[in-house]
Amino acid sequence: MTGREFLELDSLQHRLHLERFKRMEVIQKIFSDLPKEDQNLCNHGSYFLAANSSICGIVANNFFRNILHVRRASIVSALPMTVIPFLSTAAVYEAFVREPLFSGDLNCEVCAVVRGGLTGAVVGGLYPVLVAIPLNASLAARYSSSPLPGKENLLRFWLRTSQPVFRKMSLGVLVQLLTGLYLATKHHGIYVKILQQMNTSRDPEKLQA
């Protein structure tokens, strides 16, 4: 690549970056003029999904505690099962659904809805159950509440132990799936409102007036 071609490529990338930045500014300007209901749903809707994830974490934790007969450190085990799923779900939804939507990088409704559903089901529903396994395994080993197998039978033991928990948590995963689908659908609908307002005024200076 010659020096001239490199400069032209760099200039093109700079223009694309500048256009993307201006587009984001226009989107944020229109977003700030939307009804408060829409703004609150966009800014805080993911917290509802994250709160449900915390509930899934607490319930899964209690299931494993009962199976392994863990009676001690209830608060110590409940705290991470509340905080970790909440923060993880909120962060993943923000990074993979909300932020791409309102930055103009995610225009496909089906893609947004699928991302929302997967985030709800996997991160908001299944992930808390997976986090509860090592946590309760360490507690069971520390307090000798339940005999644990050797390394050769460890995988089989946890598969057998986790099966009833996953069955009981299937309803929670379904609720999280539907919640993620609903949030992503509503967020994409609000994004469409923004695009419609952008199309009514092609001049960004009028939007900023």
When mean pLDDT is compared across 5-19, 28-42, 63-77, 191-205, the lowest value belongs to 5-19
pLDDT above 60 (res 1): no
Provide the 10 A C-beta neighbour count for residue 57.
29
- The residue ranking higher by pLDDT, 37 or 11, is 37
Measure CA 208 to chain center.
Answer: 32
Hey, where are the domains in the chain?
A: 3-208
pLDDT above 90 (res 151): no
The answer to whether residues 180 and 119 touch, using CB atoms and an 8 Å cutoff, is yes
**Cα(172)–Cα(206) distance, rounded to whole angstroms?**
47
Q: Tell whether pTM > 0.85.
A: no
Per residue in 36-49, is it b (16+ CB within 10 Å) or e — as a string?
eebeebbeebbeeb
